[in-house]
Copies of this chain bind each other. A is one copy, B any other.
Amino acid sequence: MPQLALLYGRAWAALFGQLRRPPRAVCIQMVHSRSQVAEAVLTSQQKPHQEKSNFIIKTPKGTRDLSPQQMVVREKILDMVVSCFKRHGAKGLDTPAFELKEMLTEKYGEDSGLIYDLKDQGGELLSLRYDLTVPFARYLAMNKLKKMKRYHVGKVWRRESPTIVQGRYREFCQCDFDIAGQFDPMIPDAECLKIICEILSGLQLGDFLIKISWKDVRHEMVAKKGLAPEVADQIGDYVQCHGGVSLVEQMFQDPRLSQNKQALEGLGDLKLLFEYLTLFGIAEKISFDLSLARGLDYYTGVIYEAVLLQTPAQAEEEPLNVGSVAAGGRYDGLVGMFDPKGHKVPCVGLSIGVERIFSIVEQRMKTFGEKVRTTETQVFVATPQKNFLQERLKLIAELWDAGIKAELLYKNNPKLLTQLHYCENTGIPLVVIIGEQELKEGVIKLRLVASREEVAIKRENLVAEIQKRLSES
């Protein structure tokens, strides 16, 4: 994973700046009663003979804005995740934020109550998507696609009770990778687990473990279907166990299990899976664990969940309950639910819990108190002189046209010190200074903000000189 590591090495250090969240709600006083807004407020909080009223300006419960600082962190993390998905040959896909309500029906079991419905304003009944998996299955069925390897990064919405401290929101971002199609057993499943390992290692979140269970095996054993109660009780012991290849081997040889056809098949596949995981060099990251139970209805076969074993710098940080940071599994029946003849398209996939990863990285940045740049500006155009706006505007247009990221202050006559402070505060590395003297001599002063060194450059060489310096840094 050198790509991730490289990015990490180069850009990560700059990332760990202090993240200050904007106040989540600001209570303000309404003076100009802007009819409807004010009216809605007045209706609920009416006080006689008083025109002013309090009203809260905020984002909806369980949602939040992402500040520029947060956006920088998010962009870096999503870039790493998507580049991993692309490394594994996935295509991009996007689906609408809402689906016909009936498309989501019967897919989420008990969780269905958490789906956001749209108001009936005439026309179709619509719901906000609850995950990216069901829209993917709908897409496959609708386009009669029998195989596809796709990734999808997008928001989903769930009406959960938000516990903000744990990083759970009603609107959150999901990053999904899925492989649809009929293939030889366990090869795509193993690749999904490999991808989770690559992403979690690449993000350097600390040690992690992926717990694997098997829906059918678990069902046979725990729900006791088709097993004599006393056998089930004995087998129930395995639910307490967890381990790797050796545990699978042990269960495989247990006659109480080998007598049950469905459980036996599941265990055979599981053994194959561990073979492939060993070839991928990740077997020691995976633990078979029947106590794991994933909530969603549509899973069949293998299911998994990645958990962090510790926060990255646990000693220095407050403990943070982050829960699972990735999860997924096989869902061979979902596409068939959309198909007229119930034709199945076997699928396996994973979802990276990026919101939780954002929380961890933000907390880490807070702890280490480093600064993060929220713009990418390379050059600032300044002047010590009054009435030099025209020269500054001509100059900056030249830089923009050459593809150079440049800013100036939107003032006719800014003070030089104000301009230089702006560069130091926002981390702009280069300043181009133009004044009467420079204009007369046909030069431009180039100032390196870090060293405060200044060099004179011929006006006509400016763009080339800047591009040279930027490519070297």
Chain B residues closer than 8 Å to A144, beta-carbon distance: 26
Does the CB pair A397–B89 fall under 8 Å? no
**Nearest chain B CB to A264 CB, angstrom units:** 21
Chain B residues closer than 8 Å to A128, beta-carbon distance: 97, 118
Does the CB pair B92–A75 fall under 8 Å? yes
Chain B residues closer than 8 Å to A198, beta-carbon distance: 400-401
Chain B residues closer than 8 Å to A68, beta-carbon distance: 91-93, 150
Does the CB pair B341–A29 fall under 8 Å? yes
In the assembled complex, A377 has its CB within 8 A of some CB on chain B? yes
Assembled-state Cα–Cα distance A95/B123 (Å): 28
Chain B residues closer than 8 Å to A116, beta-carbon distance: 118-119, 121
Which of A28, A96, A190, A341 has the most C-beta atoms of chain B within 10 angstroms of its own C-beta?
A96
Chain B residues closer than 8 Å to A406, beta-carbon distance: 87-89
Does the CB pair B126–A60 fall under 8 Å? yes
Question: Which residues of A404-429 have CB atoms within 8 Å of chain B's CB atoms?
Answer: 404-407, 410-412
Instruction: Please state the number of chain copies in the assembly.
Output: 2
In the assembled complex, A386 has its CB within 8 A of some CB on chain B? no
Does the CB pair B279–A404 fall under 8 Å? no
Residue from B22, B59, B93, B191 within 8 A of A71 (CB atoms)? B93
In the assembled complex, A301 has its CB within 8 A of some CB on chain B? no
Given A72-B92, A88-B407, A406-B89, answer yes or no on A58-B279 (Cβ-Cβ < 8 Å).
Answer: no
Does the CB pair B93–A375 fall under 8 Å? no
In the assembled complex, A259 has its CB within 8 A of some CB on chain B? no
Chain B residues closer than 8 Å to A338, beta-carbon distance: 28, 57
Given A340-B28, A404-B87, A405-B86, answer yes or no on A410-B187 (Cβ-Cβ < 8 Å).
Answer: yes
Per the CB 8 Å criterion, the residue count for chain A at the interface is: 118
Assembled-state Cα–Cα distance A88/B406 (Å): 6
In the assembled complex, A102 has its CB within 8 A of some CB on chain B? yes
In the assembled complex, A142 has its CB within 8 A of some CB on chain B? yes
In the assembled complex, A183 has its CB within 8 A of some CB on chain B? yes
Does the CB pair A37–B375 fall under 8 Å? no
Q: Is the interface of A mostly helix, strand, loop or mixed?
A: mixed
Chain B residues closer than 8 Å to A452, beta-carbon distance: none
Given A342-B31, A397-B194, A402-B2, answer yes or no on A118-B119 (Cβ-Cβ < 8 Å).
Answer: yes
Chain B residues closer than 8 Å to A29, beta-carbon distance: 340-341
Chain B residues closer than 8 Å to A120, beta-carbon distance: 119
Assembled-state Cα–Cα distance A25/B281 (Å): 44
Q: Mark A56-90, 1 if CB is under 8 A from B, else 0.
A: 01111101111110011011000000000011111
Q: Mark A10-37, 1 if CB is under 8 A from B, else 0.
A: 0000000000001101101111101111
Assembled-state Cα–Cα distance A76/B88 (Å): 20
Assembled-state Cα–Cα distance A242/B283 (Å): 71
Assembled-state Cα–Cα distance A119/B139 (Å): 25
Does the CB pair A400–B87 fall under 8 Å? yes
Does the CB pair A98–B63 fall under 8 Å? yes
Chain B residues closer than 8 Å to A142, beta-carbon distance: 22-23, 25-26, 57-59, 65
Assembled-state Cα–Cα distance A98/B128 (Å): 11
A/B interface sample: 28 pairs, CB < 8 A: A1-B403, A2-B401, A22-B143, A23-B142, A29-B341, A36-B105, A40-B105, A55-B102, A57-B138, A57-B338, A64-B96, A65-B135, A66-B94, A66-B95, A68-B93, A71-B92, A88-B406, A89-B405, A89-B407, A97-B155, A97-B157, A118-B128, A119-B119, A121-B159, A187-B393, A187-B411, A188-B410, A280-B393
